[in-house]
Amino acid sequence: MGFGHKFEEAKQRLEAAKAKQQDKLAEKLIADIGKRGEKLLAQNLSDGEKILAKVRGDFGQAFVVTDKHVFIVKWGFQSGSTFGGKCISFAYNNITGIQIKQQTLKALVEVLTPATQDNRKLSYWGGRGKGDNAVESDNAVTFSRPEAPVFQTAVNLAKEQMESRHAPASKSNDDLSSLKELADLKEQGIITEAEFAAKKKQILGL
């Protein structure tokens, strides 16, 4: 058996292993979060809302990404909801960031908004009932570090949705700035009324 044949076999084994790993990741990306978690989520989903990722964290916690919201779902004693539970929704246009914090043995995913982005003290090891415990927090989910790849994939999906919501506003501001510059040029007599009108249509896509 020649070197080239051995190389091809090794390459195929590597590709097969990668494919298997991707399949396992896909299975974990839409996970069953248990009866209580599923019920809480179902009560908060809007009609036609599509789930892109649903991953279970430590204890009674889940991080859910849809085409409309990010949800933090909590239930059970450990997460501060002995009876019932809570499902907190975050609309993408209100999210300023989503981050994963790696800590000793554990990690957490945190949803940042104007109300929560200055809270840098959340920790898996924070004191219970003191506001800095990530397990109890309404904007974070804790998980074991081996689960980091699936949580990172879920976060990436959420960021794609978030960026698509924020992009149109950015483009609108750029268009407004360009129109103001054109108006100034027209008032200064640098461009004609016809040139201004033509450029305005181009910017607005008319």
User: pLDDT tens, 52-107?
Assistant: 999 999 989 999 999 999 999 999 988 877 778 999 999 999 999 999 999 888 99
Write down the pLDDT at residue 206: 63
- Residue 85's alpha-carbon distances to 77, 98, 122, 125, 139, in angstroms, are 9, 23, 20, 22, 14
Alpha helices in the chain (DSSP H): 3-29, 34-44, 148-187, 193-204
CA distance 110 to 158: 12
CA dist., res. 85 & res. 106, Å (int): 23
Residues 6+ apart with CB under 8 A from 89: 44, 69, 70, 71
CATH code of residue 131 = 2.30.29
Task: For residues 199 and 159, state if they share a domain.
Answer: no
Token pair of 171 as six digits: 């483009």
Asked if residue 177 and residue 91 are part of one domain, the reply reads no
112 in the same domain as 20? no
Give the pLDDT of residue 118: 63
Does 117 lie in the same domain as 38?
Answer: yes
Q: Are residues 133 and 121 in the same domain?
A: yes
Work out whether the CA dihedral 178, 180, 186, 190 comes out positive or negative: negative
Are both 150 and 181 inside the same structural domain?
Answer: no
Q: Which residues of the chain have pLDDT under 50?
A: none
Question: Does one domain contain both 135 and 97?
Answer: yes
Query: How many angstroms separate the CA atoms of 68 and 48, rounded?
Result: 10
Domain that holds residue 171: 167-204
* Count of CB atoms situated within 10 Å of the CB of 139: 21
Do 158 and 177 sit in the same domain of this protein?
no
Does this model's pTM top 0.75?
A: no
Same domain for 106 and 22, yes or no, is: no
Q: Are residues 61 and 97 in the same domain?
A: yes
Q: How many domains does the chain have?
A: 3
- Quick one: 26 and 36 in the same domain? no
Give the pLDDT score at 16.
Answer: 61
- State whether 61 and 78 are in the same domain: yes
